[in-house]
Amino acid sequence: MAKPRELRRRIKSVQSTRKITKTMELVATSKLKRAQDRVVAARPYAAALAEVIGDLYAPELAERFPLLRQPGGKSRRVALVVITANRGLCGAFNANLIREARRRIEQLESEGAGVDLHLIGKKGITYFKFAKRPAASQRTDIGDKPTPSHAAEVVGPLMTQFESGALDAVEVVFAQFKSAVVEGGRGRQTTSSSPPPTRSSNNSCRSTCAIRCTGRSWKPRRRSSARSGRR
């Protein structure tokens, strides 16, 4: 049986650990709130930019600007950009991204397309190195605060290859934030802008282009009080 002095020492140690973990929790909550605010603030800009790019599409412009071209038939060569984190301890964040990347690679290769893998983040690089999957490029210097210059360095070579016809499509696998407990991997094709869909029907618009139109906004009905009408 432990002596009273030993028990007091253990209790003090547990209390000290509790203070440290509480401080870490507060810091993590603050960082999460700032990151969440940045994501929510960037969504309207991304949606408006996708709409502008979609409205720019026209067959005559595609002849003058190669970035607007629509490759005919199936894609022969696809660049897949996989964005993961440099660190772990974030639940299924990296696992969901890697799972989505594997699913997309298998789908493209089953259709007869070649896949050039471009990896951003240590977790993705480590996994595909373990899986003995060669990567066309890899980067670990971007971190959780990317800048426009980082984006330009990543997409610059891909745009050049797409303009020359070496690539038929460029796709990005990234994390789509939904809530603090739900965040799944998602793939999106970034090249080959599609013509704007007709806006006569919200349902057809939603099924044609989920980025440009979200359908009708939902507003909750005001419930009448249970005592309404009673005096």
Residues 6+ apart with CB under 8 A from 184: 96, 100, 175, 176, 178
- What's the whole-number mean pLDDT along residues 135-149? 88
C-alpha to C-alpha distance for 186 and 100, rounded to whole angstroms: 7
pLDDT > 90 in the chain, percent: 26
Q: With pLDDT > 70 as the criterion, what percentage of the chain qualifies?
A: 74
Centroid of chain to Cα 91: 16
Q: Which of 171-200 are b and which e, b meaning 16 or more Cβ less than 10 Å from the residue's Cβ?
A: bbbbbeeeeeeebebebeebbbbeebbeee
CA–CA gap between residue 227 and residue 229 (Å, rounded): 6
Q: Which residues are catalytic?
A: 90
The confidence score (pLDDT) of residue 212 equals 31
Contact predicate 138/120, CB 8 Å: yes
Sign of CA dihedral 11, 14, 20, 25: negative
* Domain edges within the chain: 1-40, 57-195
DSSP 8-class letter at 87: -
In the predicted model, what is the mean pLDDT of residues 208-218? 31
- Which stretch of DSSP H or E encloses residue 218? none
Is the pLDDT reported for residue 188 higher than 70? no
Distances (CA, A) of 185 to 98, 155, 167, 170, 174: 8, 20, 23, 17, 6
Q: CA 221: distance to chain centroid?
A: 33
The pLDDT of residue 98 is 93
55 or 126: which leads in pLDDT: 126
| Fold annotation for 57-195 | Pyruvate Kinase; Chain: A, domain 1 (3.40.1380)
Q: How far is the C-alpha of 156 from the C-alpha of 229, rounded, in Å?
A: 67
The string of pLDDT tens digits covering residues 167-185 is 888 999 988 777 665 555 5
Q: What is the pLDDT of residue 136?
A: 93
pLDDT of residue 11: 87
- Span 5-29, pLDDT tens digits: 888 888 889 889 998 998 888 888 8
Q: How far apart are CA 91 and CA 32, in angstroms?
A: 14
Residue 155 has pLDDT above 50, yes or no: yes
CB-based contact 43:178 (threshold 8 Å): no
DSSP 35-57: HHHHHHHHHHHHHHHHHHHHHH-
Q: What is the mean pLDDT of the chain?
A: 76
Residue 206 predicted with pLDDT over 70: no
| Encoded tokens for 20 | 């440290």
Q: Using a CB cutoff of 8 Å and minimum separation of 24, what contacts does 55-58 make?
A: 55/196, 56/193, 57/193, 57/194, 57/195, 57/196
Tokens 């070496």: give the residue.
Answer: 166
The pLDDT tens digits for 78-131 are: 999 999 989 887 778 889 999 999 999 999 999 888 999 999 999 999 999 999
Cα–Cα dist 225/31, whole Å: 40
pTM beyond 0.85, yes or no: no
